[in-house]
């Protein structure tokens, strides 16, 4: 287990970004846990989150020239990660998109650095149905950029539309490697260390038995 993944899961549970209970997913499944990156909603929490993303990028990401954050959750993420990487000595340009086309000023839907001809790493929180990645790839193709990969916070390691996980489906469909800060494996290990979470761990393992895949993205 990577050290940063272990620390990230502990941090997300402490911040209640990972919550336990009964939650309906986009796929209509009743999940015993829920991950909501929008709850990293203070300056300190976002700064810490971006440190974890930077750790994952440095350890796993394919070569890239530019970071791209899809609206809306990806916007603070991509800016924060770019700041973090700059503090570590790597000054990387970044861009994001608008949901609405701007018809004045510079116009268009892309904001920030020009991605044309650049290898682009897409930043997201999780991959559920792959919709955000698909929309990002279309935007980047139109901008004559080269999608290089995706980085996410948590790989749930559960089936998407096929027997593959949603993250594996992204790799198969778009040829994009997906790297992540942590996976469901790391969450299971975290819960197994806590004697007060035996019941939660049992529900999580049952859910995984029903919907999970054996290997993470990558």
Which residues are identified as catalytic? 102, 104
Beta strand 18-24 with 94-102 is unpaired
Coil vs helix vs strand at 165? strand
Residue 183: both structure tokens together: 């996976």
DSSP string, 94-154: EEEEEEEEE-STT-EEEEES--TT-EEEEE-S--SSSHHHHHHHHHHHHTT-EEEEEEEEE
Comparing CA positions, the residue from 20, 34, 35, 25 lying closest to residue 73 is 35
Asked whether the beta carbons of 150 and 134 are under 8 A apart, the reply is: no
Distance CA 174, CA 156 (A): 19
Coil vs helix vs strand at 197? helix
Tokens 């268009």 found at:
108
Distance CA 11, CA 2 (A): 14
Comparing CA positions, the residue from 52, 175, 29, 19 lying closest to residue 123 is 52
């Amino acid at each position: 287990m990577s050290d940063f993944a272990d620390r990230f899961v502990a941090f997300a549970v402490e911040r209640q970004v990972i919550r336990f209970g009964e939650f309906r997913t986009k796929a209509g499944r009743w999940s015993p846990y829920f991950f909501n990156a929008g709850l990293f909603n203070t300056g300190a929490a976002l700064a810490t989150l971006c440190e974890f993303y930077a750790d994952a990028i440095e350890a796993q990401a394919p070569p890239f020239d530019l970071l791209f954050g899809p609206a809306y959750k990806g916007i603070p993420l991509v800016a924060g990660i770019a700041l973090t990487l700059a503090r570590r000595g790597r000054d990387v340009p970044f861009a994001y998109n608008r949901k609405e086309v701007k018809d004045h000023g510079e116009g268009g839907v892309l904001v920030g650095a020009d991605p044309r001809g650049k290898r682009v790493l897409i930043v997201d929180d999780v991959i559920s149905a792959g919709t955000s990645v698909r929309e990002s790839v279309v935007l980047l193709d139109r901008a004559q950029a080269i999608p290089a990969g995706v980085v996410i916070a948590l790989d749930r390691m559960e089936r998407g539309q096929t027997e593959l996980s949603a993250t594996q489906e992204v790799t198969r469909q778009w040829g994009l490697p997906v790297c992540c800060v942590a996976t469901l494996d790391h969450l299971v290990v975290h819960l197994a260390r806590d004697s007060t979470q035996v019941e939660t761990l049992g529900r999580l393992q049952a859910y995984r038995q029903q919907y999970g895949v054996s290997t993470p993205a990558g």
